[in-house]
């Protein structure tokens, strides 16, 4: 594969991806470039703080995301749903049935209401939209570290592929994702100097484990950024 060949669909079969980097604005643009051509489309969740002011370079100011695909999320809305799920779990533990299916359902019940509703609205046939979550680093204080892994796997199994953006120093929680990408670069205007390093990649294509790839060599990402920057 040459550097200018299209990158394979990163989200099929359904998988989980975390994109880490210090430049929040550029992270959003890169993620948009990765998901905009996905056959199933995408849903874009943004963990917002009260009174948050977006940077002038933020993707959300460019009005590229259709209103029906944008889901503003308050951090408290992504807190686990332990109380109600524990009531249901007490009944499920006594029930018969496939152990793996039962375990998956238990984890689904622990998801926040908003996440459950989003998954319930996804199509059952054909490609599923990528579930993007920006500002995910703001969830540090909401869910303990041991919750992240089961929650991510449950969303992928029950709903669709996940792309989480982490605009902070990455922690050990990143290893709960099947694929880990690190963005080196801060400003959208300087995207041609930025690149991705792949900590945990795909078995083939440009983004294999250990690779370093310039954003200029990712056709979908370069096409978006070159149009605006």
State residue 67 phi and psi, 5-degree precision: -55, -35
Residue 2 has pLDDT above 60, yes or no: no
- Kindly state whether residue 218 falls inside one of the protein's structural domains: yes
pLDDT given at position 97: 43
Q: Tell me how far CA of residue 13 lies from CA of 9, 48, 91, 202, in angstroms.
A: 9, 30, 33, 11
pLDDT tens digit sequence for 200-213: 999 999 999 999 99
Average pLDDT estimate for 126-154: 70
Average of per-residue pLDDT values in the chain: 77
Which of the listed ranges 108-117, 121-130, 189-198 does the model predict with the highest average pLDDT?
Answer: 189-198
CA distance 131 to 152: 11
Residue 142 sits at the vertex; the CA angle it makes with 160 and 30, to the nearest 5 degrees, is 45
Average pLDDT estimate for 60-88: 67
The answer to whether the beta carbons of residues 10 and 179 sit under 8 Å apart is yes
- Kindly state whether residue 53 falls inside one of the protein's structural domains: no
Range of the domain at 173: 16-48+59-203+213-228
pLDDT given at position 75: 62
Tally of domains in the chain: 1
pLDDT given at position 71: 78
- Kindly state whether residue 54 falls inside one of the protein's structural domains: no
CATH number at residue 175: 3.40.50
User: Among residues 80, 60, 79, which one has the least CA distance to residue 71?
Assistant: 60
pLDDT tens digit sequence for 16-62: 999 999 898 999 999 999 999 998 888 888 877 777 788 889 898 88
- Kindly state whether residue 182 falls inside one of the protein's structural domains: yes
List, in sequence order, every beta strand (DSSP E) within the chain.
16-20, 42-47, 70-73, 130-134, 162-166, 179-184, 195-200, 212-214
% of the chain with per-residue pLDDT over 70: 66
- Kindly state whether residue 135 falls inside one of the protein's structural domains: yes
- Kindly state whether residue 10 falls inside one of the protein's structural domains: no
pLDDT given at position 161: 87
% of the chain with per-residue pLDDT over 90: 33
CA distance 223 to 215: 10
Indicate left, alpha or beta for 126 from its phi (over 0: left) and psi (-120 to 50: alpha). left
- Kindly state whether residue 89 falls inside one of the protein's structural domains: yes
- Kindly state whether residue 34 falls inside one of the protein's structural domains: yes
pLDDT given at position 61: 87
- pTM given for the model: 0.78
């Amino acid at each position: 594969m040459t550097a200018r060949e299209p990158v394979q669909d990163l989200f099929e079969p359904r998988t989980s991806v975390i994109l880490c980097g210090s430049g929040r604005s550029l992270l959003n643009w890169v993620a948009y470039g990765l998901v905009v051509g996905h056959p199933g489309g995408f849903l874009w969740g943004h963990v917002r703080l009260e009174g948050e002011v977006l940077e002038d370079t933020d993707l959300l100011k460019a009005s590229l995301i259709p209103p029906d695909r944008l889901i503003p999320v308050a951090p408290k809305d992504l807190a686990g749903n332990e109380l109600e799920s524990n009531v249901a779990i007490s009944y499920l533990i006594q029930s018969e049935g496939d152990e793996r299916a039962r375990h998956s359902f238990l984890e689904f019940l622990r998801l926040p209401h908003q996440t459950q509703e989003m998954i319930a609205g996804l199509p059952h046939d054909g490609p599923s939209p990528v579930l993007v979550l920006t500002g995910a680093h703001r969830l540090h204080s909401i869910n303990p570290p041991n919750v992240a892994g089961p929650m991510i796997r449950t969303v992928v199994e029950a709903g669709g592929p996940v792309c989480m953006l982490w605009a902070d120093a990455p922690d050990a929680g990143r290893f709960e994702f099947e694929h880990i990408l690190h963005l080196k670069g801060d400003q959208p205007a300087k995207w041609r100097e930025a690149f991705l390093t792949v900590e945990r990649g795909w078995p083939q294509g440009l983004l294999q484990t250990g690779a370093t790839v310039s954003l200029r060599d990712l056709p979908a990402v370069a096409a978006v950024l070159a149009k605006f920057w």
